[in-house]
Structure 1
Amino acid sequence: MSAISHLCGGDLLLENGGLQVISGADETRQRLLRRLLTNPGDYIWQPEYGVGLQSMVGEVVVPAVMQAAIRVQVIKDPGVDSGHSVDVTVSAADNGLCLCHISYVDADTGQQQTVDFSA
């Protein structure tokens, strides 16, 4: 299956005379980032969808709380194999950024995948 490629906060991209599409592991990564950045309650058809990480910017980071919230949402994505554990590491960098590393198994390929980002 494929979807329109779109990173949160970015523009839609054109490719071959149409909108850029994405599939596979890249599509799952984009869905996960969207899920992590969406505030709970903002998606009216699924009020429990989302973590709202951007709303945590400027707050005191409690790694265990953030890791648990991320893990719960990542395992709900259809591209993530729920039969395997999802590993989430949240740490503080020296420059004040919050670093996040997520490791999961792709539901279609069975391959280990990662998502890394900072806030």
Structure 2
Amino acid sequence: MIALSHVFGNDLVLDSGGLGTVSGTELTRQSLLRRLLTVPGDYIWQLDYGVGLPLMVGQVIAPEAMESVIQAQVQADAGVDSSQAVTVTVTDEESGVCRCNVSHVDAGSGQQQSLSFSY
């Protein structure tokens, strides 16, 4: 599958005078970031879509609860092989910042992939 290249919170990507496209593992990466940052209820065609990580900023850090909801949403993404385990680790860096590491198997390539970010 090919889609427009769009990293959540940024503009569409231009490529050679037209809109940039992505596929494969990069498409899955962009899709997962969008899913993790979308607030549940904001995507009107699928109200249970999203984790809502932006709403967690400034809240008490509860790694186990965050890991659970992130894992469920990553497992539900079409680009992730749902027959394989998804591993999520949320670490409190004690400065009000969380570090999140997600490990999953890409459905298209069958390769282990990782996604790491701080919020």
TM-score (norm 2): 0.97
Per-residue deviation, residues 25-76 of structure 1 (Å, max 9, x unmatched): 0100000000000011111110110000000000001000000000000011
Partner amino acid, structure 1, of 2:7: L
Aligned 1:1-119 pairs, distance under 5 A: 1-119=1-119
Secondary structure at 1:68 match in 2: helix
- Residue 94 (structure 1) shift: 4.5
Deviation at 1:81, TM superposition (A): 0.4
In 2, the alpha carbon distance for the partners of 1:110 and 1:97 equals 32
DSSP 3-state at the match of 1:3:
strand
Which runs of no fewer than 5 residues in structure 1 stay unpaired? none
Q: Which AA in structure 2 matches 1:28?
A: T
Measured on the aligned residues, the alpha-carbon RMSD in Å equals: 0.8
C-alpha distance in 2 between matches for 1:69 and 1:77: 13
TM-score, normalization by structure 1: 0.97
Offset, 1:111: 0.3
Q: Secondary structure at the match of 1:73?
A: helix
Distance in 2 separating the partners of 1:13 and 1:44: 25
**Match of 1:64, as an amino acid?**
E
CA distance in 2 between counterparts of 1:107 and 1:13 reads: 24
What is the SS of the residue equivalent to 1:75? helix
Secondary structure (helix, strand or coil) at the match of 2:77 reads coil
The CA distance in 2 between the partners of 1:9 and 1:78, in whole Å, is 21
Cα distance in 2, alignment partners of residues 25 and 95 from structure 1 = 32
* Structure 2 residue ranges without an equivalent (≥5): none
